[in-house]
Structure 1
C-alpha cells in the first residue's frame, strides 16, 4: 500500500518516534510547548518554571539513553529508571539550584549536565561482548552524522520559514496591523520550532539501531572520507606541530612562564584530535598517514600534557585553585587516562572516550569536589590563613581595629581571594565571614570596597599600582543606599542635568560632550563646576561638605544613607545627588581630598 505525502513524511515518522522513543518525544514536545506559551502570552517565566523547562530538556537526553538501554537488553521492565530519573531531576533543580537568581554557577551546572547527558547516547548502547569494534565505530559515525544533518536541515527550515513569515508580514502589513498578537512573535515561534522540536524529532526519527550496524566493514561516504583524510588529520597534525614548537620555545627560555592559554589550547587541540581519531578508524587500513596518525596521536597528546600541567601548576602555586584551573586539571587528567589507555590497550575500545567525558562532567557537578565547591573551599582556607598571617583574623573573628596599611603584595593576595569568593552574584562565604560588619544588601563590588577599606588594604585602581601609599593616607568610601532621583530641598527647580563621573588622575570629563550641552556639572579637585556649553558659569566648593561627612562618620561610626550636596552661587542653586564618593584623608595635615565621585541626578534652579 502506497502512503501519501503526509503519511509518508509526517504520520509514519511520528508513529515510529513515539513507538521507539516515547518519553524523549514527550519531553521535547513539552519543552517546545512551554516556551511557545511564553512567546505568545508576553510573559517572562518565573525561575522555578524556567528550571522546570530545563528538567524537560535534561529529561530528553536521559530518556533517550534509557530507551536505548531497553533496546540493548530487550527488557521493558525499566520503570524504576524513569522514577529514578524524575527523582534526580526534581531533587537537583528544586533543592540544589538557587531559583531566585540566575547565578553563574547555575549556568555552568546546566552546561556540564547537558554535556554529560548529551554524551550518554554515544555509549549506553555499546555491547561489551562484541567481537570487534567495527559495529560501534559505525554506530558512532551514524549518530554524529545524524546530529550534523539535523542541525543543517533545521537551519534551512529556520531560514525558509522565517523568510515566508517575513514576506507575509511585509506584504500584508501584519507587523503593524495584525490584531491577534504581535506578528514578530510568529518569527520567534518558528525559530523555536526549527531549533527544538523539528531538529530533535529529526534526530529521533533517524537515530540508528546499534544491532543493525555493519559488524564487518566500516561504512564511510566519499565526502566523509575526504574530510577526514584531507582536512581533519592534516589540521590536527598542524595543531600539534604548533604546540610542540611552542614547548621547545618554553624549554629554551625556562625562566619565563608559559602563556596561560597554552593549557586551553592543549585541551582543545587534544579533543579535536581524539574526535578525528575516532572518525579516522573507518579508513585506518587504507592509508599510511592514517595508520601513523592512529598510532602516534595518543603519544603526542601524552607528552603535550606535561606542558599543560606545568603551566597550570605555576598558576595554582602562585594564585590558588580557581574553577577554571580546576577544570583544566580534571580535563587534563581525563586526557592523560585516555592517552595511556590507547597507548597500552591491545583492543582500543573507543567507547571509553565519550564514556569518560560523560562521567567526568557528572563527577564535577556534585559533592564537595565539584567544579565550584572545591575551589571555593580552598580559596576560603587560603584567605583565612593570609588574614591570620597579617593580623586581620584572630580567634575566629575578623579584626578591623587598630590596623596599619598593609603592604601591596599581601593586599593583592587578599583582594584576589575576596574577589573570587564574592563574584557578581554570590557572596555567601564573605557575608558569613564578616558577619554584620558589612551590609549584606550591598552589591558585590561595593562589598569588596567596604572590605578593602576596613582591612586597610592597598589596591590597583584603573590599572595603576598603588604601592607607594604612605601610612598617613587613609581612604574612605561612601555609597548612597537610597534613591536620589527626587529633589528634597530645592523646590521649583528648573533643570535636571547630568554630571561627569570623576576619578583623580584620570580625565575628569569629555570636553566635547560638555561643549554640546547647555548645563553640565564637572569636578576639578574638590570643586564642582557648572558649565554652559563648555564655559564655567558657577563654582561650588565641596570641602566643607566632605569634612562634615567625615566628622559625622568618625563620631557615629555610621556611614550616611544619602549623599547629597547643596550649593548656592550668585545665579544658580544646585542639588547634586551622589551615588559613590571616595575621600582620602591625610592624617598629618587633617586635609581631605575627593578621589572619586559618581553622580545620580543633579537639580538646578535659576535665581
Structure 2
C-alpha cells in the first residue's frame, strides 16, 4: 500500500479549506481539545477548575463532531443545488447558531439523557450526509454511487491513519530507546488524537466527489463489494439467523418468554442483511445475479418471525420495569423494521433512500418533544415510582431505589420535585458546587433523594458505604523546614517525572490509587501501601480511637503513620501523606481494596 505523498496531502488540504472551511475549523478545534484534554490528564492537578475544564473539553469534542457532520450535510446540499456563495454562507451561519445553541442546551457530563441525545443527533446528522445531496427523485443511482464513495473513503482513511500512527509510534519507541528521551504515554495519545481527529477527518473530506450530479451517470461497480457481501456479510447474517431460529424453536417447545439478549441478535441480523442488500443493489438486475432478488425476499420474509420475537422480548422488559431510553429505541426499531419489511415486500419501486431518510427522521423525533425517548421514559418511570411509593408489595419496595437511581442519573435530582416539598433544584445546585467529581455528585444526589423520600436502599447495586477521610494530625499544614525541595505527588494524575540535581525522580500511583511509589534513577526507593494505612485506620475507628475534625466522616490520624523516609546516594527522600480518602463498607472490610482511593501527599528531598 502506498501512502499519499506530501504534495498530494498539501493539495488535498487546500481544497478542503476552500470547499469545507467550517468543517476544517471544527476538525482543528476537536483535535486541539482532545490534545489539551490529554495534557491536562497527564500534567495538571485535580483542582475544581481542572475538573471543570476537562468536562468542558469532552463536551467540546462531542459538539464538534455534531457540528462537523451537520455542516457537511448542509454544504453538500448547497453544492448539489448550486447555491450562490452568499446563500451558502447564510445557511452555514444558521447551522452554526443551531450548534452553539445545542452546546449550551446539552449537559452530557451530568445528565445521561443528554448523552443519549448527542448520540441520536450524531446518528441523524451522519445519515443526513448520506442523502442530503439527493433530496429529489430519480437519482437512486447517484445516491448509491455517492455512498459507495463515502464507504470506501472511510475505509481508506481509517487504513492510512492506522498505518501512519503505527509508523510514528514505532519511531517514537526507537527515539525513546536509543536516546533515552523519556517519551511519555501521553505523547503517543496526542499523536493518536492528531491523526484520528485531524488527519483522518481532513483526508476523508478531501476525497468527497465534486461532481455530484454526474454520479447519476456512473454505473461502475467494484467487484470487491460483491465479494465482501457474499463471503463476509451474508455468512454473518446466516449465523445470526440460525441462532435465532433455533432459539425461537426452543421458546415454542418450552413455552417461555425470550431473554433480553435476543434483541441484540435480531438487530444484528437486520443490520448485516440490510447492509448486504444496499451493497449489491446496483447489480440486482444484471445477468447472472438472479440470486439477489431471491436473497432479498428471503431476508425480509425471515424478518417477520424475528420482529415478533423482538417485540415479545422488549414487551417482557417493559411490562416489568417500564420504558427507558434503550427500551424506547428498541421498540422504535422494531416498528421501523416492521414498516421496512412491509415496504420492501409489497412495494414495486423499492427506493433504497427510504432506509437512511426514515432512520434520520426517527432519530430526530426521538431527541426532543413529548414523543422523544426521554419524555416517554421519564413519564413511564415517574408513573412507576408514584405507584411504588403507594405500594407495600415486597417487589415494589425492592425496586424503588433502582427507579430513583435511574431518574437522577438520566434527568437530575430536580425530576423528583413532584414527590417532595423542598426545592430540589437549589439542593442540586449546592451539591454540584460542593463536589468536584461527577460520580460523587450523582451519589450525593441519590443519597439526598433516598433520605427525602425515606427509602432504604438494601439492593446489591447500592450497598451502604461511607466516604472516609484521614487527615495527618501533624502535617495538615505541611512543614518543610530543613528540606531542600518539596514536590506535590497526589494520586492523580500519575505518573510524574522530575530531575533534581541530575537525578531522575519518578512518582507513581496505581492499583486504583491504593499505593504510591517513588523511584530514583530507575531504582525503587519507597513503596507505600495506602490501602494498608486505610485498613489500619478503620480498625482504629472501630476502637473509637480516632479524633474527628469539624467535617463529617473526617478524622485525624497520627502523622508518624503517614510519613515514610528512605536515604539513597546522599539524599533523604520523605513522603508525607497529608490526607487520604477512601470508601468504607461497614459490612465487609475486604471491599476496600476494590475501590478507588484518593490521596494528597508531598515528596520532601534533603541533601545530606
Under a length normalisation based on structure 2, what TM-score does the superposition of the two structures give? Answer: 0.69
Match of 2:606 in 1: none
2:141 equivalent among 134, 138, 141:
134
- Counterparts of 1:185 and 1:230, CA distance in 2: 40
Match of 2:71 in 1: 63
- 1:225 offset after TM fit, Å? 2.1
Task: Kindly indicate whether residue 58 of structure 2 is the aligned counterpart of residue 27 of structure 1.
Answer: no
Match of 1:309 in 2: 311
Task: Kindly indicate whether residue 268 of structure 2 is the aligned counterpart of residue 260 of structure 1.
Answer: no
Asked if 2 retains the 8 angstrom alpha-carbon contact of 1:408 and 1:457, the reply is no
Asked if 2 retains the 8 angstrom alpha-carbon contact of 1:260 and 1:311, the reply is yes
SS in 2 for 1:112: helix
Match of 2:90 in 1: 80
Q: 1:449 to 1:49 in 2, by over 3 A?
A: closer
- Counterparts of 1:408 and 1:87, CA distance in 2: 51
Task: Kindly indicate whether residue 383 of structure 2 is the aligned counterpart of residue 381 of structure 1.
Answer: yes
By relative contact order (CA 8 Å, sep 6+), the higher-ranking structure is 2
Match of 1:272 in 2: 272
Match of 2:347 in 1: 345
Task: Kindly indicate whether residue 342 of structure 2 is the aligned counterpart of residue 333 of structure 1.
Answer: no
Q: 1:20 to 1:413 in 2, by over 3 A?
A: same
Match of 2:157 in 1: 150
- 1:564 offset after TM fit, Å? 7.5
- 1:80 offset after TM fit, Å? 3.0
For 1:362-511, list aligned pairs within 5 A: 362-387=364-389, 389-390=390-391, 406-423=392-409, 426-430=412-416, 433-436=419-422, 441=431, 444-445=442-443, 461-462=459-460, 483-486=469-472
SS in 1 for 2:323: coil
- Counterparts of 1:522 and 1:483, CA distance in 2: 10
Q: 1:578 to 1:232 in 2, by over 3 A?
A: closer
Task: Kindly indicate whether residue 173 of structure 2 is the aligned counterpart of residue 171 of structure 1.
Answer: no
Under a length normalisation based on structure 1, what TM-score does the superposition of the two structures give? Answer: 0.69
Task: Kindly indicate whether residue 124 of structure 2 is the aligned counterpart of residue 125 of structure 1.
Answer: no
Task: Kindly indicate whether residue 98 of structure 2 is the aligned counterpart of residue 97 of structure 1.
Answer: no
SS in 2 for 1:142: helix
Match of 1:400 in 2: none
- 1:11 offset after TM fit, Å? 3.2
Match of 1:107 in 2: 115
Asked if 2 retains the 8 angstrom alpha-carbon contact of 1:379 and 1:417, the reply is yes
- Counterparts of 2:64 and 2:555, CA distance in 1: 51
Structure 2: stretches of 5+ with no match in the other structure: 45-49, 432-439, 475-528, 558-580, 599-608
Match of 1:298 in 2: 300
- Counterparts of 1:67 and 1:268, CA distance in 2: 32
Task: Kindly indicate whether residue 233 of structure 2 is the aligned counterpart of residue 232 of structure 1.
Answer: yes
Asked if 1 retains the 8 angstrom alpha-carbon contact of 2:33 and 2:61, the reply is yes
- Counterparts of 2:350 and 2:465, CA distance in 1: 64
Match of 1:585 in 2: none
Asked if 2 retains the 8 angstrom alpha-carbon contact of 1:154 and 1:195, the reply is yes
Q: 1:458 to 1:433 in 2, by over 3 A?
A: closer
- 1:78 offset after TM fit, Å? 2.9
- Counterparts of 1:59 and 1:564, CA distance in 2: 49
Task: Kindly indicate whether residue 163 of structure 2 is the aligned counterpart of residue 162 of structure 1.
Answer: no
Compute the RMSD of aligned alpha carbons: 4.2
Match of 1:207 in 2: 208
Whichever structure has more helix as a proportion of its residues is: 2
SS in 2 for 1:485: strand
- 1:581 offset after TM fit, Å? 8.0
Q: Deviations over 1:396-429 (max 9, x none)?
A: xxxxxxxxxx442231243332232233893332
Report which of the two structures shows the higher radius of gyration computed on alpha carbons: 1
Q: Deviations over 1:570-597 (max 9, x none)?
A: xxxxxxx997687xxxxxxxxxxx8999
- Counterparts of 2:21 and 2:451, CA distance in 1: 60
Structure 1: stretches of 5+ with no match in the other structure: 176-181, 391-405, 465-475, 489-513, 531-538, 546-559, 567-576, 583-593, 602-607
- 1:13 offset after TM fit, Å? 2.0
Asked if 2 retains the 8 angstrom alpha-carbon contact of 1:250 and 1:258, the reply is yes
Q: 1:427 to 1:452 in 2, by over 3 A?
A: closer
- Counterparts of 1:141 and 1:247, CA distance in 2: 36
Q: Deviations over 1:82-123 (max 9, x none)?
A: 1221221111111x2237x44433332222222221222211
Asked if 2 retains the 8 angstrom alpha-carbon contact of 1:136 and 1:210, the reply is no
- 1:154 offset after TM fit, Å? 0.8
- 1:188 offset after TM fit, Å? 3.0
For 1:214-229, list aligned pairs within 5 A: 215=217, 217=219, 219-229=220-230
- Counterparts of 2:31 and 2:459, CA distance in 1: 48
- 1:38 offset after TM fit, Å? 5.3
Asked if 2 retains the 8 angstrom alpha-carbon contact of 1:479 and 1:561, the reply is no
SS in 2 for 1:149: helix
Asked if 2 retains the 8 angstrom alpha-carbon contact of 1:411 and 1:459, the reply is no
